[in-house]
Amino acid sequence: MADYRVKLLNGTTTVDLYAGAIKLQEAGLSMPPPPVNPSYVSSSFFDGNFLTSHRYGNRSITLRLRATGSSLADLKTNLRTIQRLLDDARKYQVGMPKQGTLLNKGKLYLELQWGDTANQSTYFEIVHGEFVMPDGQYSTLLRAFNILGCQLRLECKPFGLYAIQTIAQATLENMDYAANHNYLDIVTAEAYGDVPALLYAKIAISGTNNDKKTWVAKRSGHRYDDDLWTEGEEETTFTAIYAGASITVSGSDQADAACSADNYHRTRLSLATDVYPTDQDVALIGYMIRRPPRGQFRVLIRAKVVDGGAGGDYSDMSFGLGYSYGSRTYAPTEAAGDFKQCAANNTYEILDLGIINIPPIAESDIAGNPTYQLRITSHIDTNVLSWGAADFDWCIDYFFLLPIDEGVIILDDTDSADVLALDGITDSPAVYKIDGSDNVSEYLDFVGNVFTIGRESTRIWVLRDDPPAGTFAVDIQYLPRFMGV
């Protein structure tokens, strides 16, 4: 059975424009797509312009209506009901704060359904509207309390909204090795949106330590399943740099059940006797990525340093990020601030070594492209290590290429018992802590933006500055959006 709906509603009042006293006339609905506001970059050396960004403006929807009433007073009541709804909607939009989700009291929506399945409506949020009477409203038809050709002109948000969808809870590990993964894959059904959907993610943290940093990111489409995780012991090359009398530099893989994949890579600087090391690089570890992901990433490395001397300074032992791609290379320098230090001796933590673009230069569509090698350099500063025979270790558990080109959220000092909510459905998007009843308990400062999820496959990663044994219980809800109805 056909189920046709054309309604105005705000959570309190509903006006049926399909079967009510004011109803849609034949072929009376006009809803062209919203205008696109693109940004282009041009060059005097290339034909054409490059699209760099675009956004949609509001959508204009017009309904041509027939207004009826059982009496003149009833006709006036029907007309004024719509006018009041439009007036309330304007006050809500201008008044702020715009808290609330689909069909919450205050927002005014146009509900549309034109099909053969119940409960498949699409809702357009109305920003502004005008109810315009025809020029001949005082015609002879008025004697029968009829007015033809009324126009409801609506300025709406660009996309139609559907009912919120729920993804089954997934438990993520704080690592990505073998059957343990720090990501969740989402596939949104084609029937649930033709533009990216709005996301709400609830993340319950467990098995971790207090006051640590947390990262959440996403990729979608053909890049969603890129391998972004590399174990420290999966090095391709090791190059000792520091050299001198009574100095030995070595690289080896070591077992540790508390590490990801139960192993880590160790670079060791051994001083056989009283030696004052000078300010320089100690060693370079290369990780060949034969199928490198494409995009922009922050390189997160779980690492520690061990100052084995009696009076040395671990804070002057550091890690730096570099790469090689064909003939193009980059090596970290102190002058550029590339080297990062651990906050404590013999204590693992996740260091953010900076941003990289893969590939660093444009690829060829015809010729084969070179392999990409990510390089981690261990470094010491001038006169920082103690006299005497001692070993100084730079240890790498793993590194993770945190994707930042589609969406990322970085949170400082989240507690081990926190339940986080990344809310991109509510106006305005926010990140906060919630209690056991899913009520907001604290709004959080964060870096980044609450992201959407695409209509194609999407992968969401969660990582926390904690041992790999930590877990995350992740619940996902998304609000489908439509360009066409």
How far, in Å, CA of 56 to CA of 311, rounded? 62
Q: Is the domain of 205 the same as that of 240?
A: no
> Is residue 255 located within the same domain as residue 301?
yes
The residue written with tokens 């008044």 in the block is 95
150 and 31 together in one domain: yes
pLDDT in tens, the chain (485 residues): 568 899 999 888 999 999 999 999 998 999 999 999 989 999 888 899 988 888 999 999 999 999 999 998 999 999 999 999 999 888 888 875 455 555 566 789 999 998 777 778 999 999 999 999 988 777 756 677 888 889 999 999 999 999 899 999 999 999 999 999 999 999 887 777 888 999 999 999 988 777 889 999 999 988 899 999 999 999 999 999 988 778 899 999 999 999 999 999 999 998 887 666 668 899 999 999 878 899 999 999 999 999 887 556 788 899 999 999 988 999 999 889 999 999 999 999 999 999 999 999 888 888 878 889 999 999 988 655 555 678 899 999 999 999 999 999 999 888 878 899 999 998 888 999 999 899 999 999 899 999 898 878 899 999 999 999 889 999 999 999 999 87
Q: Which residue from 331, 333, 334 is spatially nearest to 322, judged by alpha carbons?
A: 331
CB 241 within 8 A of CB 348: no
b/e map of 418-438 (b: 16 or more CB within 10 Å)? bbbbbbbbbbebbbbbbeeee
pLDDT value of position 417:
80
DSSP string, 300-347: EEEEEEEE-SSS--GGGEEEEEEEEETTEEE---TTTT--EE-SSTT-
**Are 153 and 194 found together in one domain?**
no
CATH of the domain at 119: 2.40.30.200
Residues 57, 38: Cα–Cα separation, whole Å: 10
260 and 145 co-located in one domain: no
Give the Cβ contact number of residue 92 at 10 Å: 18
352 by DSSP, 3-state: which? Answer: strand
290 Rama class: left (phi>0) / alpha (psi -120 to 50) / beta: alpha
3-state helix, strand, coil in the chain (%, to 5): 10, 50, 40
Boundary residue ending a domain (119, 140, 161):
161
Query: Does residue 359 share a domain with residue 215?
Result: no
Point out the domain boundary residue: 371, 387, 403. 403
Is residue 14 located within the same domain as residue 119?
Answer: yes
- The answer to whether residues 271 and 142 belong to one domain is no
What's the rounded Cα separation, in Å, for the pair 227 and 352?
19
Structure tokens at 425: 């459905």
Q: Print the domain residue range for 202.
A: 165-224+408-450+456-482
Q: How many CA atoms lie within 13 A of 243 on its CB side?
A: 3
Question: What is the number of structural domains in the chain?
Answer: 3
Residues 282, 324: one domain? yes
Among 142, 161, 180, the domain boundary falls at: 161
Do both 392 and 245 map to the same domain? yes
Tell me phi and psi for residue 17, to 5 degrees: -95, 5
Residue 189: which CATH number? 2.60.120
Residues 336 and 216 grouped into a single domain? no
Which CATH number does the domain housing residue 239 bear? 2.60.120.260
In 101-194, beta strands by DSSP E: 108-115, 122-132, 146-156, 160-161, 165-173, 183-186
Claim to verify: residue 212 and residue 153 sit in the same structural domain: no
